[in-house]
Each structure stands twice: as structure tokens, then as C-alpha cells.
Structure 1
């Protein structure tokens, strides 16, 4: 494994610790709203490390998705700076190492090719 890959892998681990802080910034109401929307197939995780809207979503759900993604973006940016990589790479690595594994059976995610896939 190259040094760069080790740094990126280390950044993903660091995201776990920092991610807890971002998760606390997300209100429990936003989390509940997004979790329900994931179960209904309205939103899902994306290979770029962010939550995406798959079907029609009301303003409240879109605001919750935006707030979640803004929190994630800040975490990814910090991690990328520490690892000497880009925010986009840190975000994609988080999807690969953590977020995809959390997608439950029946939920949807958007793969790197941009296709929505149901688990």
C-alpha cells in the first residue's frame, strides 16, 4: 500500500471520530426525518459521500439533507487537509469505508456511475 493510500485510509478512520461531532450538530429531528426518508426510498447515500434526494422531497426534508451534507462537507474538508488530499477524495473514501456498509436492506444508494441501486 502506498503512503498516499495509507494517509487516505487514516483519514477515513479520523472521520469516524470527527464524524461523531458532525452527527451531534445534526438535530435529532433532522436525523429522524432523513432516516425515515431512507426507509421510504426518498433519499439515499451517494458514492460522493453525501445524502442525495432520489424522488420528490418536501422543503423540510431538503433542508435536513442540506444541513447534513453541510456538516459532512466540513468534516471531509478537515480530514482532507490533515491527509493532504482533496475533500472529494475524503468524501468518497468515507462512502466506501463507512457509509455503504450502513445502507440497510431495501434502502437505496447512488453508486459511482450515478445509478440508484437498491440494496
Structure 2
């Protein structure tokens, strides 16, 4: 699958590097934000405008990475984003939030979180 090959080369590394600010780390550790099934970050519950803005800004950066990666992989942006979600959800740490396929927010335990269909 071309998307998976291109993703392994750049996608998750670039996306993860975008979110390494202290504000991001604190919000993630506090369960205020989490990984969604579509490859984007989500705001968990009601959060401050600063958190909402940070998530919007990071998602805009992710979209740019996905757009570039999709062009290189000859796929759609959504296909590329979903393929990235497979890796990002797998990389969550116990105690971090993620969105389950039914849309509910869950806290990761020791087990792998539920991921989009087609993840390996």
C-alpha cells in the first residue's frame, strides 16, 4: 500500500514533532486533548480557548503534512490522515486520552487502543 510506505517514511515523525511543546505535553498529560480516529487531535470536554486554539493550530499543521504526504503517496488526504492515526493511536501512552471508534473519549490502559479498520 503506497500510503503506508510513504507514511512510514515521514508522517508520524513530523506530526509527533509538531506537538512537543510544554503546553501540548501538559494538556495531553492532563487529559484535555487526545488522538482521534481520523489522525487529528481532539479537545476532550470543555477546555479553555487557549487549548482549543492550540489544537486547531496543531491540526492545521497536521493537515499540511497530510496533504504533502498524500500527494507523494498518490492517495487522498483523508486516507493519509487515517493511516497516520493508526500509528499515532498505537503510540499513545497509558493514561492518555484517545477517541474510540464510537466517538467516546477513553483513557488508555495497558492494552492497545481501538484503531481505525485496516490498521496493522
TM-score by length of 1: 0.79
- Structure 1 runs (4+) greater than 3 angstroms displaced: none
Match of 2:55 in 1: 65
State the secondary structure of the residue aligned to 2:63: helix
How many residues align structurally? 108
Q: Unpaired runs of 5+ in structure 1?
A: 1-5
2: CA distance, partners of 1:34 / 1:17: 16
| Preserved contact between residue 18 and residue 75 of structure 1 (Cα < 8 Å) | no
Contact 1:49/1:91 (8 A) holds in 2: yes
CA RMSD in angstroms, aligned pairs only: 2.2
TM-score by length of 2: 0.78
| Structure with higher helix content | 1
Q: Distance in 2 between matches of 1:77 and 1:113?
A: 26
Consecutive unaligned residues in structure 2, runs of 5 or more: 109-120
